[in-house]
Structure 1
Amino acid sequence: MHRPEDEPAPAIRRRRHLRTTAITIALGAVMFTVGAVALSPTNSSGPETTATAASVSGPVRGIAALRERVKQLPKDPGSWADLGMALVQQARTTADQAAYAQAERALRHSLRLQPVENLHAEIGMGALAAARHQFRDALTWAEKAIATSPATPASHGVLADAHTQLGHYGEAEAAVQKMADLRPDSASLARASYVFELRGDTGGARELMERALRAAGTPGERAFAHTHLSALALDGGDTAAALRQAEAGLAMTPRDAGLLEARARAHAALGKSAQAVADYTAAIAVAPLPQYLLGLGELQQSLGHRDLAEAQYAVLRAQETLRRAGDASADTDAILFEADHGDPRQAVSMAETAVRERPFLAVHDAYAWALHRAGRDQEALTQADKALVLGTRSALFLHHRGAIHQALGDTTAARRDFQQALNLDPSFHPLHAPAAREAIRRIDDTP
């Protein structure tokens, strides 16, 4: 296998059809703040320090070894930083909120041992802040890490993620370009893939994610690439390719929650409901993340299994109670869930807070939907347009805007958005895709 350095870094700015003044890196459902793309400060490929979403057992074993290391080397700031990063990873991949607090304690202990130019801990604190959706703090830590070591790619990765979520798209693009220039590895190539995906260039996104897969050096990086190649295929309506990518990843990392969700979505799109339910259930057993719970609940609802759907929604409501108690901002899945299955006015309140802290495309979309469900459609249209301003090819975003146009009486714009959503992915959502088809039929039947 060739080394990733054998291929040139992606020249993001050379794509003439992309405007370099506005570009984004992150996807609504999956962020690059830690995830499966390695941001380990030590740049190790071992299970103890590599940020990976491959499985639960790997990270847990790694954390045990790191805890033993800090016992043996209690004054080594690097060991404490590695433990902190591994705990951030565990929290991200298992939804274990207690691990975040443990991660912060480990990272701050590292900083007490070495308060100045502690690159490992600075990157770890940036990743922790981003994982908690504290993106202004993530930006500060990324800038500190870059001041400590300007040529460390991982620092620019955290910087790019923070800028993206804060709506600083030009700065985010520059950070990704710098990261790729320094080292065109799996982490930087995957971020570059999102630059093109969220600008609507799915072909360029797929090419770069395939390069990220070839450059992957860990099971987590390979799983991450397969997950997103599956999503790219599914979002383009190629369900067979989506299933192939998910299964290729699961053959190597059979307990990866992201891949299980990817296969669940592909099975659902192919009409294989029982297999989809099984995969969602397996993903939730690994990591009860809101997007998996919501995905399974809405699939069960679409099948007429209201009681089974409500079981998932009950868990989501319990998670929301814990979130409010912890004074954390809501993620998009929580906002969309509240808008569709709870109190739309509460969803608007959640979205207003979220968009102030994280003015990112998917948050604008969730805010638009909450406003629509609360009957505030003129305001909703403004937010829906912001969600699509970069040309993102999102069937869900288009459906949301179509419903808003329809509520405002603009049936021509509504039909256009609904049709574009279905053209992109005829099975983009178990409840909303049928609603889009029904909306088109009603518009067409109206004299």
Structure 2
Amino acid sequence: MHPDHTGRPHQPTPSPSRGSGRLRSIAVTLALGAAMFAVGAVMLTPDGTTAPRPAGDGRPTGAPPGPIEALQARVARLPKDQGGWAALGMAYVQQARTTADPTTYDRAEKALKTSLSVQSEDNTDAETAMGALAAARHDFPTALRWARKATASGPYSPSAHGVLADAYTQLGRYDEADEAVQRMTDLRPDAASLARASYAFELKGDTARARALMRRSLVAAVTPADTAFAHDVLASLDLQDADPRAALAETRAGLTAAPGDPALLETRARAHLALGDTTKAVADYRAAVAIAPLPHHLLGLGELEQSLGNGGQAEESYAVLRAQDRIREATGDPADTDAILFEADHGNPRRAVTMAEHTLRARPFVAVHDAYAWALHRAGRDTEALAQADEALALGTRSALFRYHRAAIHHALGDDEAARRDLTEALREPGFHPLHAATARDLLQRIDTTP
């Protein structure tokens, strides 16, 4: 989730339930609501240098088949194996979220519908995967319907409760999300459930408990992806606590487990930026974009280049973001928060307001309230903006960007004391944004020197 400017990178997706004829899907770092754009081109080697990614699926020549190929072979042999089709569908969902090839979502849907055609009732794995697919497409009401169906048919499935928790979270139903997380953790306290428990506390601003649970998730990690995810979350928490050197150590450990992980590269870029090393920050952002040109990677790189006066390079990232948004708009899908913030800051704020209103109807999540607040502010509608900014911070979420946004709104409304409080909180993370951090410092100085 991280993206989404809450300080949390991608949540791990739980594996489908185990049992006769069922396969355990590969565990990868995913974001509910991750945008549908990314493709691998560069990987980071263990010594920190970049190297070309092998062609195809990234496996060396002569390597054994990957999980998707193995599942394809299984369903070819056993076309009536509903568990095999469900596992293949979930694997496609995971692949699409890390490669962002939208056609892979179509393959996932086809596989899952095949599973459901073989067994239409009590097919918990397929129902769970359909929920994950809907969430990946930002259709959280549909994700909730499938998750409820999955928890009804499989009340003891941790995976089903994980998808249920994710859907409730993105729909702003946090108490129900907490109940689902508790149930998931009671059923199986593994890396995925502990990560969700960590996020539940992080959303409420309890970063100490979030960190402790994420440490437990790291201990419970059984795959390189789970390990990388845990280190990424811990590094993000370090950045919130203004400890970029600790964040660098966490990203280094994560990249050892999962070389070339784009989320870790982006987090390391933010740590370098906090330490003032813009050369390394740009290099890591570029590496992350080369592997996975997700909107938050592109926006981070573009705004960093802009802050350095590199307008041409910034515009290259912005052009890709505009192209991605045209594709998103053509499908009728709601915009993600990065697209809303990009439009508010680098496009038409009134259009950003319209985008945010559309998204908020389907996804009343804290980060969407924040993006809506900022769009309203940029459009000159500060009284409305303040109500949305307050909603974004109502849980107690520690987000420097949320705080800066509300500070700017308070200042526009003439409440400099409230602006000062929010700016002081935002600047506890001094490198929280390539452009806005400097603006926040300047605004605080102006407020403090105003008679």
Of the structure 1 ranges 352-361 and 261-270, higher mean CA displacement relative to structure 2 is found in: 261-270
The Cα of 1:42 is off from its aligned counterpart by 4.1
Establish whether residue 397 from structure 1 lines up as the match of residue 373 from structure 2. no
Establish whether residue 436 from structure 1 lines up as the match of residue 440 from structure 2. yes
AA partner of residue 352 (structure 1): E
Q: Work out whether residues 156 and 175 of structure 1, in 8 Å CA contact, stay in contact via their aligned partners in 2.
A: yes
Of the structure 1 ranges 83-92 and 277-286, higher mean CA displacement relative to structure 2 is found in: 277-286
The Cα of 1:405 is off from its aligned counterpart by 0.4
Q: Work out whether residues 144 and 168 of structure 2, in 8 Å CA contact, stay in contact via their aligned partners in 1.
A: yes
The Cα of 1:64 is off from its aligned counterpart by 2.1
For 1:122, which of 112, 127, 137 is the aligned residue? Answer: 127
Q: Which residue of 1 aligns with 2:145?
A: 140
The Cα of 1:379 is off from its aligned counterpart by 0.3
Residues 313, 43 of structure 1: CA spacing in aligned structure 2 closer, same or farther, 3 A cutoff? farther
Q: Which residue of 2 aligns with 1:172?
A: 177
AA partner of residue 122 (structure 1): E
Q: Work out whether residues 336 and 370 of structure 1, in 8 Å CA contact, stay in contact via their aligned partners in 2.
A: yes
Q: Work out whether residues 23 and 87 of structure 2, in 8 Å CA contact, stay in contact via their aligned partners in 1.
A: no
The Cα of 1:252 is off from its aligned counterpart by 1.4
Q: Which residue of 2 aligns with 1:8?
A: none
Q: Which residue of 2 aligns with 1:162?
A: 167
Establish whether residue 215 from structure 1 lines up as the match of residue 216 from structure 2. no
Q: Which residue of 1 aligns with 2:316?
A: 311
Q: Work out whether residues 367 and 392 of structure 2, in 8 Å CA contact, stay in contact via their aligned partners in 1.
A: yes
AA partner of residue 438 (structure 2): P
For 2:97, which of 85, 92, 96 is the aligned residue? Answer: 92
Residues 128, 239 of structure 1: CA spacing in aligned structure 2 closer, same or farther, 3 A cutoff? same
Q: Which residue of 2 aligns with 1:49?
A: 25
AA partner of residue 172 (structure 2): G
Distance 1:272 1:221 in 2: 28
For 2:4, which of 8, 18, 28 is the aligned residue? Answer: 28
Distance 1:60 1:308 in 2: 39
Q: Which residue of 2 aligns with 1:336?
A: 341
The number of residue pairs the alignment matches comes to 421
Residues 33, 283 of structure 1: CA spacing in aligned structure 2 closer, same or farther, 3 A cutoff? closer
Residues 36-63 of structure 1 deviation map (CA, whole Å, 9 limit, x = unaligned): 343334499x997223139963799322
SS in 1 for 2:401: helix
Q: Work out whether residues 382 and 409 of structure 2, in 8 Å CA contact, stay in contact via their aligned partners in 1.
A: yes
Query: Map of 1:361-380 to 2, 5 A cutoff?
Result: 361-380=366-385
The Cα of 1:446 is off from its aligned counterpart by 1.7
The Cα of 1:28 is off from its aligned counterpart by 2.5
Of the structure 1 ranges 310-319 and 410-419, higher mean CA displacement relative to structure 2 is found in: 410-419
Distance 2:65 2:244 in 1: 34
Normalised TM-score (structure 1) = 0.90
Residues 446, 214 of structure 1: CA spacing in aligned structure 2 closer, same or farther, 3 A cutoff? same
SS in 1 for 2:323: helix
SS in 1 for 2:117: helix
Q: Work out whether residues 123 and 153 of structure 2, in 8 Å CA contact, stay in contact via their aligned partners in 1.
A: yes
Q: Which residue of 2 aligns with 1:291?
A: 296
AA partner of residue 38 (structure 1): P
Residues 5-44 of structure 1 deviation map (CA, whole Å, 9 limit, x = unaligned): xxxxxxxxxxxxxxxxxxxx98735899984343334499
Normalised TM-score (structure 2) = 0.89
Unaligned runs of 5+ in 2: 31-39, 41-56
Residues 31, 126 of structure 1: CA spacing in aligned structure 2 closer, same or farther, 3 A cutoff? farther
Establish whether residue 249 from structure 1 lines up as the match of residue 250 from structure 2. no
Establish whether residue 426 from structure 1 lines up as the match of residue 430 from structure 2. yes
The Cα of 1:161 is off from its aligned counterpart by 0.7
AA partner of residue 133 (structure 2): L
Residues 276-334 of structure 1 deviation map (CA, whole Å, 9 limit, x = unaligned): 11111111122111010001001111111111000000000000000011111100000
Q: Work out whether residues 11 and 196 of structure 2, in 8 Å CA contact, stay in contact via their aligned partners in 1.
A: no
AA partner of residue 132 (structure 2): A
The Cα of 1:68 is off from its aligned counterpart by 2.1
Residues 110, 29 of structure 1: CA spacing in aligned structure 2 closer, same or farther, 3 A cutoff? farther
SS in 2 for 1:110: helix
For 1:275, which of 280, 296, 300 is the aligned residue? Answer: 280
Distance 1:400 1:88 in 2: 34
SS in 2 for 1:92: helix
AA partner of residue 49 (structure 1): S
Q: Work out whether residues 53 and 256 of structure 1, in 8 Å CA contact, stay in contact via their aligned partners in 2.
A: no
Residues 229-281 of structure 1 deviation map (CA, whole Å, 9 limit, x = unaligned): 11110111110011110110001111211111111111111112121111111
Of the structure 1 ranges 367-376 and 414-423, higher mean CA displacement relative to structure 2 is found in: 414-423
The Cα of 1:398 is off from its aligned counterpart by 0.3
The Cα of 1:427 is off from its aligned counterpart by 0.9
Unaligned runs of 5+ in 1: 1-24
Distance 1:94 1:395 in 2: 29
Q: Which residue of 1 aligns with 2:51?
A: none
SS in 2 for 1:57: coil
For 1:150, which of 155, 179, 196 is the aligned residue? Answer: 155
Q: Work out whether residues 37 and 221 of structure 1, in 8 Å CA contact, stay in contact via their aligned partners in 2.
A: no
Residues 41, 131 of structure 1: CA spacing in aligned structure 2 closer, same or farther, 3 A cutoff? farther
Residues 190, 60 of structure 1: CA spacing in aligned structure 2 closer, same or farther, 3 A cutoff? farther
SS in 2 for 1:170: helix
Residues 69-118 of structure 1 deviation map (CA, whole Å, 9 limit, x = unaligned): 22222221111111110110011111211111111111111101111111
For 1:348, which of 339, 344, 353 is the aligned residue? Answer: 353
Of the structure 1 ranges 277-286 and 307-316, higher mean CA displacement relative to structure 2 is found in: 277-286
Of the structure 1 ranges 60-69 and 259-268, higher mean CA displacement relative to structure 2 is found in: 60-69
Q: Work out whether residues 26 and 165 of structure 1, in 8 Å CA contact, stay in contact via their aligned partners in 2.
A: no
Distance 2:27 2:247 in 1: 24
Distance 1:60 1:191 in 2: 31
Residues 134-155 of structure 1 deviation map (CA, whole Å, 9 limit, x = unaligned): 1111111111111111111111
Residues 268, 253 of structure 1: CA spacing in aligned structure 2 closer, same or farther, 3 A cutoff? same
Q: Work out whether residues 43 and 50 of structure 1, in 8 Å CA contact, stay in contact via their aligned partners in 2.
A: no
Establish whether residue 73 from structure 1 lines up as the match of residue 72 from structure 2. no
Residues 387-443 of structure 1 deviation map (CA, whole Å, 9 limit, x = unaligned): 0001111100000000000011111111111111102x0111111111011001111
